[in-house]
Structure 1
């Protein structure tokens, strides 16, 4: 889609926030170094920033979908307070090994490495995949990006803003 919006798809745990093992409470929320600065930089360059996150903790019964949504909203607010705007959040609560019946699915189209969340975001927000990319910390993130037709870049820790700056050359 020409004239579409450029976007950056961001994994949540391990990219925007520290992966503390199924984080879902305010006490668990620790932004990674440079997270707010990276999102602000991407905003200033005209990118729509979209979180795409697998959240199997819902299916596993570790927290509810409402808790997941509240925690995601808290992340968005925490970033916004530092001038970093997240345009949309997509979260997949489904998992094949779930304990909560409603969230058990053998291979949900939204669960990375499947590209469902990215493809939905592209459709919902008139995103141009040719001007967009994914930043994730897992092979499943890279595979979801590949299947959605967008480049994927593996973030292996450190300062997210430095990573983005190096990636974009400014």
Structure 2
């Protein structure tokens, strides 16, 4: 009968060990499942496209004007031009509008130095755009915040 008493005391320890192992395995599976779901949630959130609205463009319109331009074939030709400047911020827009007579004067001086034949080609128009952008690197006033002029757009362009 001593053997039955000994085997009876071993059985609860053995069941207790199996119970601890099963609980450990269950908690490990639960933690793995929880961590795995979190890892899957992040790429899904990143994969969804976030709608990005582009900033509203800011333009400064320069009213059309006529300029005499020299020509190789004729003595004088006329350039009728209308421009809009695409600017990067409201400060630049306000500064250009405030100094519009000076802006128009600079453009008049620059345009009157152009040759009519070069203005009729697409390359000539691109070169003129680059010269206009360079011309705005000189300050209009002192002190002046940096100007943000992004593009020169021709709204009217006639060489006659």
TM-score range, shorter chain: under 0.3
Normalising by structure 2, what TM-score? Answer: 0.26
Normalising by structure 1, what TM-score? Answer: 0.25
Which of the pair is proportionally richer in helix?
2
Which of the pair is proportionally richer in strand?
2
Structure with bigger gyration radius: 2
